[in-house]
Amino acid sequence: MAEQILRSEYSEVMQKSFIDYSMSVITARALPDARDGLKPVQRRVLYAMEQLGLNYDKPHRKSARIVGDTMGKYHPHGDSSIYETLVVLEQDFKKGMALVDGHGNFGSIEGDGAAAMRYTEAKLKKFTQEVYLADLDKNVVDFVPNFEETEKEPVVLPVRVPNLLINGAEGIAVGMTTNIPTHNLGEVIDATIAYMDNEEITTQELMQYTIGPDFPTGGIVVNKSELLDIYENGSGKIKIRGNVEFESGGKKDKDKLVITEIPYTMIGANIGKFLSDVVDLIETKKIQDIVDVSNESSKEGIRIVLELKKNADIEKIKNILYKKTKLEDTFGVNMLAIVEGRPEILGLKSIIKHHVDFQYELATRKYTTLLNKELDNKEVKEGLIEACNIIDLIIEILRGSKNLKQAKACLMEGDTSDIAFKSPVAKLQASTLRFTERQASAILELRLYKLIGLEIAQLQKEYADTIAKIAEYKNILNSKKSMARVIKKDLEKIKKEYAIDRKTKIIDAEAIVIEEVKMVEQEVVFLMDRFGYAKTIDVAAFERNKEAVFAENKYVFNCMNTDRISIFTDAGNLHQLKVRDLPFTKFRDKGTPIDNISNYDSSVENIIYLTTQDNLKASKLLFVTEMGMMKIVDTEEFDVIKKTVAATKLNDDDKVFGIYRVTNMENIIVVQTTSGRFLKFAIEEVPEKKKNAVGVRGIKLDKGAKVDDIYIISPGSDITIEYAGKEVSFKQMKMGHRDQQGVKK
């Protein structure tokens, strides 16, 4: 076949490829199916466990075996994502109803990771087996070939409850995300039954049954009045607070505020962040009534204890905690799921509708399979009963036949040729037989003990049961009302056995308002020692201890308590912090590491220049790097709100050597290098550039050399320094230009 070249626009090819990729991620990885509420990896993990026979009444099996089977047979994407899925399915603090029974360390609510998969073990929960995996043998769902077409896997699991609501979902696809909160099993079942009773029911009426999310961590939803709109549209913001209880210490102990429930969004590292935030509030004296913070959480539940001063204002402390920490947080709802192969945002009623439609489909396929099975049984039993009535003739046919084929032909078609009969009457009767193939096979396999009178009576009883089942199944399949009755009965049974009490309270609460005491503006003195401990002190204390202040501290300057400190580093970063975030202490108090109250990290960068935002105003800064790059930047560039920004752009392997305030563009700059060269030129030769520019070359460096020192002098100044044992006079030094090598000294 001749080769054919297809010409296409590059942009069109890229667009099509990206759309194909994004749809693959959306449908095959990131989003749950509206029918079973499961992502593909979750579905495959549960199915692999079912295929391994990991029933709730069987021993646990190593997680590594489960992950291996899932990856090898159904999900060829890497073991870490599969194991993380298995772990989350086990964690009852993340799921409304945990689906896996784990044995070993499966992580904690405080963010501790699970042990390696070779150490942990797992099996299915009874709930999962009976509600998520039952009836897979009854052709209730379609099966498709796996990625290598060696195994079959279900397109969807026959989940009998709206799992999309009960266990929620979260996932990041390409250009879209899903975030569905968990709900109470019993309430969701009640809402489902209510929908089945009245398909015209409104979302507001459904919310009489499912009143809102029910998070496994409890907490309090405080915007009840906004939930209707969220459940109508499938998106919105749910405000959650932790539960705070007051414990009186009596005469001996201190009073305590105890956090017993946390917002669902605080799970993991955010618990540690909350503790850190509380400590910061105490250190900055925004909360002055808390004397100690401790985390006493255990397997029994969350218990974060805040010890209080005597006569502390409880309500004020609560309000500050809700306002200033993650103890009140927002859960962004976006109920996005796959419906008929396409992503769709669903409201509460839509989710229940798709689930109920799915249940009708499951029931139709299940009872069709059961009906066909009973029809086959009816056919066989009718044949056996008729055979028992003419058992003597059957025995005579069998004794007269030369082989099985002859006997079967006689039973099915009345073919008596080559069969020896004792009498012509028997031969005539045999010629009228017309058993079906299934009946003939059952008769030929009939054991003699089945001819006992009691066994024949049992056969007739089984036949009657089969007839009753056929009538029942036909009634279910032919009547939607009968099918709905069966589905509702099933749901009520699940609710009775597995429903648990609601954990999350739902109320309407007023927004937290904190009346902050307005800071009195005053002048303070900023101090930072060579170890990075910073603080502010009163001006009067500074005056009393001036000599000791300068002897013990690296940075000392006056500033206002309403100002900001600007920290420029050799990595080219600008970190900012508010003066009021620094501890205002006595002179001899130690202060706080500046790393702890800003984004500056002393382990990876060094401070080059430190000043206040007020001092930067209406001036310019000269930047000089170790490799001799220079530029002048207007300080308005650094008047930003962010805590950290890039102060300058650096070439690879370069660092900021120094930053100098430029007050007079007529001044002269002298650059000294590690190779002993000096270059003197007018500072006005250095161009003004933006902070995100690299700058220009100030001096041509010898190989391996770097900038060693910078001197900024006024014209005509007679400054002499000592270098290599001899004096160097800047006044006598010849004037050069930027980007020269300079003179050797």
Distance CA 584, CA 594 (A): 14
From the list 734, 619, 696, the residue with the least C-alpha distance to 665 is 619
Q: Are strands 533-538 and 607-612 parallel, antiparallel or unpaired?
A: unpaired
* 3 state SS of 583: coil
Task: Kindly give the interhelix angle for 480-498 and 453-478, rounded to the nearest 10 degrees.
Answer: 100
> How many Cα atoms sit within 13 Å of 402 on the Cβ side?
4
* 3 state SS of 272: helix
Residues 6+ apart with CB under 8 A from 57: 126
- H or E segment and range at residue 569: strand 564-569
DSSP states along 163-232? HHHHT-EEEE-SS-EEEE----HHHHHHHHHHHHH-TT--HHHHTTTS-S---TT--EE-BGGGHHHHHH
Distance CA 631, CA 572 (A): 13
Where do runs of H (alpha helix) occur along 453-576? 453-478, 480-498, 539-544, 546-552
Q: Residue 183 to residues 97, 213, 249: CA-CA distances in angstroms?
A: 9, 5, 36
Distance CA 594, CA 497 (A): 57
DSSP states along 335-401? -EEEETTEEEE--HHHHHHHHHHHHHHHHHHHHHHHHHHHHHHHHHHHHHHHHHHTHHHHHHHHHH-
Residues 6+ apart with CB under 8 A from 401: 407, 410, 419
From the list 639, 565, 562, 644, the residue with the least C-alpha distance to 609 is 565
Where do runs of H (alpha helix) occur along 227-268? 227-233
Distance CA 488, CA 494 (A): 10
Distance CA 283, CA 476 (A): 69
Here the tokens at position 690 are 């933006």
- H or E segment and range at residue 328: strand 328-334
Contact 127, 198 (CB under 8 A): no
Distance CA 623, CA 600 (A): 19
DSSP tally for the chain: helices H, then strands E:
21, 35
Considering the candidates 56, 74, 83, 119, report the single residue annotated as catalytic.
119
Here the tokens at position 600 are 């500056």
Here the tokens at position 556 are 């000392």
Q: Supply φ then ψ for residue 148, to 5 degrees.
A: -115, 10
Q: Clarify whether 119 is annotated catalytic.
A: yes
Q: Residue 381 to residues 412, 450, 462, 475, 569: CA-CA distances in angstroms?
A: 16, 12, 8, 22, 90
Q: Supply φ then ψ for residue 309, to 5 degrees.
A: -70, 165
Q: How many residues does the chain have?
A: 745
Residues 6+ apart with CB under 8 A from 342: none
Contact 650, 568 (CB under 8 A): no
Give Cα 675 distance to the centre of its chain.
Answer: 55
The residues annotated as belonging to the active site are 119
